[in-house]
C-alpha cells in the first residue's frame, strides 16, 4: 500500500519525486470549487458563533438536507 499525502491524497512517492537535477518529476495544477453543502454548514457555524453559543459546540454534529428534494 502506497503512503498518501495527508493534504492532497496523492501517492507521496509521486508527489515528492525529484529527477537527477532535483527538479519535480510531475507537474500538478490545483483547482477549487465550492461545495454548497459545506458552505451551508460553515454558515450555520458562523450563526452559532455570532449568537455567542460557541461554548455549546462540544458534541454538536452538523448535517445537510437538500431543500429541493421532494
Q: Place 7 in a pLDDT band, splitting at 50, 70 and 90.
A: very high
Residues 27-70 have pLDDT tens digits of 999 999 999 999 999 999 999 888 887 777 788 899 999 888 65
9 contacts 17 by C-beta, under 8 angstroms: no
pTM assigned to the model? 0.56
Q: What is the pLDDT of residue 69?
A: 67
Question: Of 61, 56, 58, 62, which Cα lies nearest the Cα of 39?
Answer: 62
Cell numbers of 41, please? 454548514
Residue 63's nearest CA partner among 43, 46, 41 is: 41
pLDDT above 60: residue 12: yes
pLDDT confidence band for 1 (50 / 70 / 90): confident
Amino acid at each position: 500500500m502506497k503512503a498518501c499525502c495527508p493534504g492532497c491524497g496523492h501517492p507521496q512517492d509521486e508527489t515528492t519525486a525529484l529527477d537527477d537535477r532535483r527538479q519535480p518529476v510531475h507537474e500538478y495544477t490545483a483547482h477549487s470549487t465550492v461545495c454548497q453543502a459545506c458552505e451551508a454548514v460553515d454558515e450555520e457555524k458562523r450563526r452559532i458563533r455570532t449568537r455567542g453559543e460557541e461554548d455549546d459546540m462540544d458534541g454538536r454534529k452538523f448535517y445537510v438536507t437538500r431543500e429541493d428534494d421532494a
